[in-house]
A and B are shown apart, each in its own frame.
Chain A
């Protein structure tokens, strides 16, 4: 494994939570030296040339997203950082904020200058109280050092950052649900259009970015954008923070260039599969389709290759599964998760995820019936394009792909029921949010 340039994780384990240490490691030099010599358009062009794509899951080019934000509307522009990291298998933002909070603040100042923003909100999920504490401590230090507040570094530019603690709703990771939650409402996604870039928080232009996206900015600004673009693939520049979990020797957070082969990630970075042979890999968090061991052997970790394999890159959260696990068990986990986290707005999602969850629960408990798999496939095929947000597809996609690729696991469970040939009668059906 070649030594890789570290963009986001270079300060890990160096005590960079303290501003003095962070400054010694080169932090805040962008703000004091070059940021205010650039115009907003130069800066956006700079980010566009770096080929930086959003790291939250959708992978939308960041510079392009910024260029959509209208100017001169008379309304304030808000930057919202999406730190509501809840997807199963994803834990990079947790450690990024814990280890290097000042890099996020520096990145936010850069983004604020590019967008002409006066205030930013970091929406951090409620479980990450240690991260919120680290951020607040860093914010206090940054205010005291004059990097935030009024007239930053003697310029006329003023900027504030506020941390907003969420309260435990996975759906708030969707950007419009996050904005609703920031406004003090239930975290239910909004219909689009209008997109947040035009009409977001408090009906003002709002730019929602992932933590890692913002934390890549200081490095890009202090180096040449082409240098960043060179590290990745032709269509997506830079390095990516991968989080590897599951049946590997050393699970954890690893930074590697985009386009690294999947087996290099598993064997060289994470120390190889333990407890059995490789059975499946989820390359982009819990909501993506799994790759079998044969597919994983030829896959590379980038947006295009994984899309061509009918799965997705997502947030770069690899979950490694060995052959001691039954995929029906894991799908049951996902059924639990997504039916619990459905916000309840759209009927196909609210009822559909619950039905899938109940069928899976019964199957795993030994009450599976013939035709259950077909029933689940039929249910999940009705999810696409009929809901406001993609939460239902996050369960529907895995249901169709797990059952297609690992059908034997499901049949094994169904065969455990001595009466599996009889039709299914479900007792105590009770709709509502508590499935």
Chain B
């Protein structure tokens, strides 16, 4: 089956498609996503604590509560909450997607599916100025391909790449809905056919030319340190009553405490005269596990088993003791596992002779 997936296709003139090439490993092929500015390779992610610190602010919590109050179900606010994440970072880190899923009360896998479906969410950092050029039919008629080639030459990068100084990223996108001013480009969130002094303009009857692109690039260099910021959702609206029965209208969204669920499952503890023996199952990704034992009202760390160990023995463990495990995966610390109460280890069965 894999051969069919990666094999080359042969077109024969009488309209038969034949798979007749040997399979190639998928990594050996050029990454076609580059053309659209997507990255198929893993992107270095910022530390969890930093992502959460930037997202769990009072302003963003308030915005989330407002967004959740608009829809009958929390999941509907997912696109907007992802926009808020992109507004903070300029792209959506994986941890930000998990956070958005948590806010909206949907599965992180669903949120990742949504975030990768729509092309405007960036999954890798972009330059300070994201230049998006329309390459659809009206703009092509008016000469967009030659303009894009001009900009690529002027900035010495190709479409989908970022300049080494981190200032510009060029993308080619489909119709920007301004065909009358074609060719058309977006500078971050602004439509621009020209730069007039301090502002980018799109006057009726104007279009992009090589000269106006020069002026726009000059404007970008001049505004490197004071880029005009837009609110990602175009500002807030005050005075609406919200959707009757919306999750945000009843309870505040659960954005306060966020930790990923524990990857450690089914902790079992059994004691005999040698102490308590703990066994567990878990996702393979964690890098460190800490075992804690209940002592009065506190939890005390009693040991740190190796990640690949099958069991952990606490020599002081007795029947009735309570244990839990906390897993760490890279920077992320998960919620503790469910508490396991120690039971008596059954005596080994005597085999009949």
Where the two chains meet, the residues of A that have a C-beta atom closer than 8 Å to any C-beta of B are: 76, 85-91, 93-94, 118-119, 125-130, 132-133, 135-137, 139-140, 143-144, 148-150, 158, 160-170, 181-187, 202, 243-247, 250-253, 282, 286, 317, 319, 321, 325, 329-330, 333-334, 336-337, 340-341, 343, 359, 369-371, 374-375, 378, 423-431, 434-435
A430 to B173, CA, bound (A): 22
B181 and chain A: residue at smallest CB distance? A251
B188 and chain A: residue at smallest CB distance? A129
Report chain B residues within 8 Å CB of A337: 136-137, 174-175
User: Is the beta-carbon distance between A426 and B8 smaller than 8 angstroms?
Assistant: yes
User: Is the beta-carbon distance between B235 and A434 smaller than 8 angstroms?
Assistant: no
Number of A-B contacts (CB under 8 A): 243
Counting chain A CB atoms within 10 Å of each CB, the highest count among B8, B104, B137, B242 belongs to B137
User: Is the beta-carbon distance between A252 and B76 smaller than 8 angstroms?
Assistant: no
Is residue B29 contacting chain A, with contact meaning CB distance below 8 A? yes
User: Is the beta-carbon distance between A333 and B114 smaller than 8 angstroms?
Assistant: no
B286 → A minimal CB distance (Å): 30
Report chain A residues within 8 Å CB of B176: 127
A129 to B234, CA, bound (A): 6
B140 and chain A: residue at smallest CB distance? A333
B244 and chain A: residue at smallest CB distance? A118
User: Is the beta-carbon distance between A87 and B175 smaller than 8 angstroms?
Assistant: yes
User: Is the beta-carbon distance between B175 and A167 smaller than 8 angstroms?
Assistant: no
Indicate which residue in A130, A143, A317, A330 contacts B140 across the interface (CB closer than 8 Å).
A330
User: Is the beta-carbon distance between B38 and A434 smaller than 8 angstroms?
Assistant: yes
B84 → A minimal CB distance (Å): 11
Is residue B225 contacting chain A, with contact meaning CB distance below 8 A? no
- Chain B residues 102-152 with CB under 8 Å of chain A are 104, 106, 110, 113-114, 117-121, 135-138, 140-142
Indicate which residue in B177, B230, B232 contacts A127 across the interface (CB closer than 8 Å).
B177
Counting chain A CB atoms within 10 Å of each CB, the highest count among B33, B114, B174 belongs to B174
A13 and chain B: residue at smallest CB distance? B204
A250 to B6, CA, bound (A): 49
User: Is the beta-carbon distance between A91 and B180 smaller than 8 angstroms?
Assistant: yes
Interface size class of B (residues with CB under 8 A): 35 or more
Known: A253-B180, A337-B175, A434-B32. A168 touches B119 (CB 8 A): yes
B144 and chain A: residue at smallest CB distance? A333
B77 and chain A: residue at smallest CB distance? A184
User: Is the beta-carbon distance between A424 and B11 smaller than 8 angstroms?
Assistant: yes
A161 to B237, CA, bound (A): 10
B63 → A minimal CB distance (Å): 13
Indicate which residue in A184, A325, A369, A431 contacts B5 across the interface (CB closer than 8 Å).
A431
Report chain B residues within 8 Å CB of A369: 11, 13
Indicate which residue in B14, B29, B73, B190 contacts A371 across the interface (CB closer than 8 Å).
B14
A329 to B117, CA, bound (A): 28
Report chain A residues within 8 Å CB of B140: 329-330, 333
